[in-house]
Structure 1
């Protein structure tokens, strides 16, 4: 086998691992391009897969791409391939999110052994939308998860008491807005009431009202579409419908009927974590995505299941109150749910050849 073919296979394996990362509504908003000779991989935002209503500033898009970037780094460590990563290398091309130099001369990212240990979890981690046990996390587990986030420049905190209650209330409010938006959309009219999109035009601003939050319907797959899709969230990964409990697990059905779907009682005292950064720029979002993924992989190796609580993050006025109430420091980029329970169902991924392009020599 010639050297170029071996390089192509190695890069394909790296990207196959990268795209196992989670992204909002499993939109998979990434593209990879490999330079001639496979010396450099470029990560681009796939803006055609953006979610304009739920993620108008692209924050969640960057977080998902950051998670894919972290998987790629763990995959390179597994392959004993040193790398050097540069975030947002070209201010004139903001869609170019990162450049990863493969086997560069000089200084590399380092931390190879720690990354290598996380690699087995890349394809084991799946979002679990099932009930978790009441068992709490140990002090050692909490410390380990905090340390994982800190290694990527983020902070992980575990709300308790009144702060936890507030986080749950804000998630419920976000879910309620989603349900209202879905009902309005199904009725063929503009969103009103609690489901209204604060960014949408209204009767008083001279613009036609627009339906709020169509993203959820666009990226969920029910019926025959669930069996053939290679993106989005299929009905078989929705998890059971909640009939009790406080775990803020999003109902991707959003009021639609799903044949054969069961109901279940979820935990009354969910274990949530807030992942925060000091600033709120695209670079911080990419770092948050890497911190999130490192934390999720560490949790998976430690026997924990996990899922996301993004409902409140999709509404600016609900996201702001999430921050730690005493110090007020940090901007919450992601809310995570941890616990002991089913690992969750794998969601589909696009074929690697659709997201990876090799530049001609």
Structure 2
């Protein structure tokens, strides 16, 4: 039987699972506060970890916090608790994104609890994927995962997938023309063994993946023009299997919901043996983001482009100690 009200050990474990979520450049832009007298966890955005060049409106930041919120829900349900979520509870405190009241579980959400093992298995993979189509049944499960969180997941047609590749290439070209666009990337990469092996955030060089020798897979090269020892070059897939995660509106609340949908999709994908990576490069430019939509299906606002397939899961990237992100009062 779960301990109720939750003790410090339980709350710490819940937040540890929450912080396994993906975030832009692994900046981990979240903070948690547990109010013992209310059995409530508060999730706040940590704007000091924002990216002024790549994410000036903090849309990506909110996606990452939403993903952490979903992990928290999964972990609480797995622990036998009932997480009751209230998004954006206080208009005067915009950095307070959600409050989660923990209760004794009244009913079992078996599907949510079953995703718990995938939290630790999910990693971003910047490696080539096999030329093996994702079965329709798996695609349907991924689309349903997004729908359950109030979002939509579409699999673009070949011509649309090619246009997405062109948009990524355009974004990369803009970065090349203006070196200031690499400021966020350089801030959040950890180069060399001394830095990478002790990092608690950011993208360490061992997680960059190989350089792209040939192929069109949109894998961001976090090295830029910097040299990474023993980093080889390989051939990536020419036509990646994309999925577009979108919402009908584009408000802060939609970003947080989209983050939850994103993580649910990623965990379901992990359950089905898929490797995953996220492609936000083109979405960091407002004009390119609008062009990422499929005009035939009117999918609203694209929040993330996912690359899916069968291949290496990718290495574990560092996480901040729970004591740095959790305040218990």
Give the TM-score, by structure 1 length: 0.87
Instruction: Tell me, yes or no, if the aligned pair for 1:84 and 1:104 is still in contact at 8 Å.
Output: no
1:144-155, aligned counterparts within 5 Å?
144-155=141-152
The aligned residue for residue 79 of structure 2 is: 79
Cα separation, 2, equivalents of 1:29 and 1:343: 23
The alignment status of 1:158 with 2:155, answered yes or no, reads yes
Aligned with residue 348 of structure 1, among 318, 322, 328 = 318
Counterpart in 1 of 2:185?
A: 216
1:98-128, CA deviations, whole angstroms, 9 ceiling, x for partnerless residues? Answer: 00000079xx8x7721111111000100000
The CA distance in 1 between the partners of 2:127 and 2:114, in whole Å, is 27
User: Residue 59 of structure 1 corresponds to which residue in structure 2?
Assistant: 59
The reply on whether 1:271 has 2:241 as its aligned counterpart is yes
Give, in angstroms, the shift of residue 84 of structure 1. Answer: 0.5
User: Which residue in 1 is equivalent to 2:70?
Assistant: 70
Structure of higher CA gyration radius: 1
Aligned to 2:222: 252
Please list the CA deviations of residues 290-341 of structure 1 after superposition, one character each: whole Å capped at 9, or x if unmatched.
0000000000010000001111011111101011121434100000000000
Question: Counterpart of 1:312?
Answer: 282
Instruction: Give the match for residue 112 of structure 2.
Output: 115
Give CA-to-partner distance per residue, 1:51-87, whole Å, 9 cap, x none. 1110000100000000000000000011010110000
2:305 equivalent in structure 1: 335
- The 5 A counterparts of 1:1-361 are 7-37=7-37, 39-103=39-103, 112-181=109-178, 184=179, 211-223=180-192, 224-359=194-329
Contact 2:207 / 2:314 at 8 angstroms: preserved in 1? yes
Q: 1:4·1:37 contact (CA, 8 Å) conserved in 2?
A: no
Residue 180 of structure 1: how far off its partner (Å): 3.6
Deviation of residue 38 (structure 1)?
Answer: 6.2
Name the CA distance, whole Å, in 1 between partners of 2:82 and 2:322: 22
Gaps of 5+ in 2: none
Equivalent residue number for residue 202 of structure 1: none
CA contact (8 A) 2:153 2:244 kept: yes
Contact conserved, 1:145 with 1:156, CA < 8 A, in 2? Answer: yes
Alignment check: 8 A CA contact 2:6 2:39 kept: no
Q: How many Å separate the matches in 1 of 2:198 and 2:175?
A: 25
Distance of 2:153 and 2:229 partners within structure 1: 38
Q: How many residues align?
A: 326
Counterparts in 2 of 1:4 and 1:276: CA distance versus 1, 3 Å? closer
Once residues 249 and 262 of structure 2 are traced to their aligned partners in structure 1, the CA distance between those partners, rounded to angstroms, is 16
Q: CA deviation at 1:227?
A: 1.6
- Give the Cα separation in 2 of the matches to 1:119 and 1:254: 35
| Per-residue deviation, 1:178 | 2.8
Please give the alpha-carbon distance, in whole angstroms, between the structure 1 residues aligned to 2:84 and 2:4. 21
